[in-house]
Amino acid sequence: MSASSNHIGQAEESRRLALLESQLAALFEVSSVLSRSLNLEQTLRALLNVLHEGGRMSHGLVCLLNEERGELLVSALHGKDAEPFEKITYQPGEGVIGHILATNAPWILPRVSDEPRFLDRLSLYDPDLPFIGVPIRVGREKAIGVVAAQPPAEDEALGSRSRFLEMVANLIGQAVRLSRSVEAEREALREERDKLRREVKGTHGFDSIIGRADSMRLVFEQVRQVAKWNTTVLLRGESGTGKELIANAIHYNSPRSRAPFVKLNCAALPDNLLESELFGHEKGAFTGALNQRKGRFEQAHGGTLFLDEIGEITPAFQAKLLRVLQEGEFERVGGGRTLKVDVRVIAATNRDLEAEVQAGDFREDLYYRLNVMPIRMPALRERMEDIPELARFLVSKVARMQGRQLAITDSALRLLMRYDWPGNVRELENCMERAAVMSENGTIDRDTINLTGLEVGAGTVEFSQPALATTAQVDLNDPNLDERERVIAALEEAGWVQAKAARLLKMTPRQIAYRIQTLNIKVRQF
């Protein structure tokens, strides 16, 4: 071998090694680019730039198959004339790009202008340069796309260039699979989120709140109006009247329904812990503060903060709360930076704030800041006509908890309507749960209610005539009523006057007295 031939061989080997080194460096950079972001379009553009700068492969193109439409869409393009390309598509088998997808095999063109099937829809490629296109695969499955580029004119190692592009295509395939998997999970999460939002809104909507009494209709109308705005709401009423339920309804029917709804019971914490809970604290602010912690105001940013038992906070803390309500500004405990939040406040109390303002126990300026839109929740004894529907709803709720069928009789409902309910709906719910526990056969009747310890005689309500008119009248001739139910219904209708009940049942006083004794009916004395 001559010295000249040896020199040429060494030069070719040097070029080959240089090409391999540049390709390895480009592959490393490609893998780094693919690991940086889950934004596929952005990642592919960066990848094609690496091919251009480090791999000497110009006019890079990535097309991905749209399975719904069954066509190749240009997903990324490199070059100065690469815009716009969003509407450029290829059918499988159409042109060079479509042929590579259909055959699932690489295609090397030594010269673009020599191939009549090259469509050049992008008007980007140099007709005198080579062109290499390879399929993008996910594993060993069929091709899901094509990656293509033009090597330089003087390049004689087109086979090596093609193998390099195949390795790049394999990396792209993994990135596409990951991106689509992540997007599928995101879509599933979005669907689940939207489903949960619909369920929550339905659960906390007006239709889910039981109340047909005039006093509750007024509450519903006030809630519908105030929910539209960011007005501060003060819910007034006795414990157990459903103030938290109304707070939920206001939030989930407001423009803030997609933002957080955060709750805090102010009566459950002393001042020092209450300040940390509401405003948060910095690391090391006090013993045990090992990390920075956001308070409820920060957590509720953009949404609603429900402060229950607001009347229980001390005068010292009232001043701190007033500032954030007025200015929307506060500092974390142990911090000096002022934070600003956008929070709608709904407060609730069972206390007479007006009397406490007069006594000096509650700041007058805070009272007026909270009492922008007062809503009074009626006590249960003020809406006795709602008891049957409430009781049936609560029995259904207990039935789901216990995993069995439960039913409540009309006689039990009539007994419930004769009680004063000082504990309101919460007491009624507890009563229904106790009755369900005491019911062996799943039927809650009058006797079951008596077993719960409900002392109707001690809390008997003096019904007005309109209230009595709302009590459901029982058809004494209903064949579905058993003998005991029929007698109790007649006694209820007769005000427990046996002679009058006997006439309703077309019996003699002796006969009804016998029925009361044999059926073990406890006679109420009024």
Q: Which pLDDT tens digit goes with each residue over 448-507?
A: 998 888 876 544 433 333 333 334 466 777 776 778 878 888 888 887 788 888 888 888
Query: What is the C-alpha to C-alpha distance for residues 500 and 510, in angstroms, rounded to an integer?
Result: 12
Cα of 90 vs its chain's centroid, Å: 41
**pLDDT number for residue 31:** 74
Cα of 301 vs its chain's centroid, Å: 16
Query: What is the C-alpha to C-alpha distance for residues 492 and 106, in angstroms, rounded to an integer?
Result: 91
**pLDDT number for residue 9:** 56
Q: Give all strands (DSSP E) within 322-429, no chain letters.
A: 329-331, 338-340, 344-349, 373-376, 407-408
State the CB neighbour count (10 A cutoff) for residue 495: 11
203: left (phi over 0), alpha (psi -120 to 50) or beta: alpha
Tokens of 150: 């033009």
* Residue 103 and residue 132 in contact, taking contact as beta carbons nearer than 8 Å: no
CATH topology of domain 11-182: Beta-Lactamase (3.30.450)
Query: What is the C-alpha to C-alpha distance for residues 148 and 169, in angstroms, rounded to an integer?
Result: 9
Tokens of 472: 């459901």
Angle in degrees, 0-180, between the axes of helices 3-34 and 158-203, rounded to the nearest 10? 0
**pLDDT number for residue 172:** 84
For the chain, give the longest Cα–Cα distance.
Answer: 140
Tokens of 5: 């031939």
State the CB neighbour count (10 A cutoff) for residue 11: 10
Query: What is the C-alpha to C-alpha distance for residues 256 and 266, in angstroms, rounded to an integer?
Result: 23
**pLDDT number for residue 307:** 95
pTM exceeding the 0.75 threshold for the entire prediction: no
Query: What is the C-alpha to C-alpha distance for residues 15 and 278, in angstroms, rounded to an integer?
Result: 69
Tokens of 236: 């007034």
Superfamily of domain 209-378: P-loop containing nucleotide triphosphate hydrolases (3.40.50.300)
Q: Residues with Cβ < 8 Å from 454, sequence gap 6 or more?
A: 415, 416, 419, 431
Number of residues written out for the chain: 526
Q: How many CA atoms within 13 Å lie on the side-chain side of 93? A: 1
For residue range 435-450, list pLDDT tens digits in order.
Answer: 999 998 999 988 899 8
Helix (H) / strand (E) element for 13: namely: helix 3-34
**pLDDT number for residue 301:** 94
10-residue mean pLDDT profile of the chain (526 residues): values are 55 63 69 74 82 79 85 78 65 89 90 88 85 86 87 74 84 83 86 76 70 90 92 94 92 91 90 86 71 88 95 89 89 84 95 92 93 95 92 94 92 89 92 93 89 65 37 66 80 82 85 82 65
* Residue 324 and residue 300 in contact, taking contact as beta carbons nearer than 8 Å: no
**pLDDT number for residue 135:** 92
Tokens of 84: 């716009």
For residue 460, the 8-state DSSP code is: B
Query: What is the C-alpha to C-alpha distance for residues 83 and 268, in angstroms, rounded to an integer?
Result: 62
Candidates 3.40.50.970, 1.10.510.10, 1.10.8.60, 1.20.1250.20; CATH matching 381-461: 1.10.8.60
Which residue, among 411, 403, 377, has the nearest Cα to 519 in the 3D structure?
A: 411
Tokens of 88: 């450029």
Angle at the Cα of 214 from the Cα atoms of 210 and 218, rounded to 5 degrees: 85
**pLDDT number for residue 16:** 63
Query: What is the C-alpha to C-alpha distance for residues 33 and 175, in angstroms, rounded to an integer?
Result: 10
Angle in degrees, 0-180, between the axes of helices 509-518 and 483-493, rounded to the nearest 10? 120
Angle in degrees, 0-180, between the axes of helices 271-279 and 315-327, rounded to the nearest 10? 10
- Domain range summary for the chain, segments of one domain joined by +: 11-182, 209-378, 381-461, 473-526
Q: How far is CA 329 from CA 339, 341, 347, in A?
A: 6, 7, 18
**pLDDT number for residue 466:** 36
User: Which CATH number is 473-526 given?
Assistant: 1.10.10.60
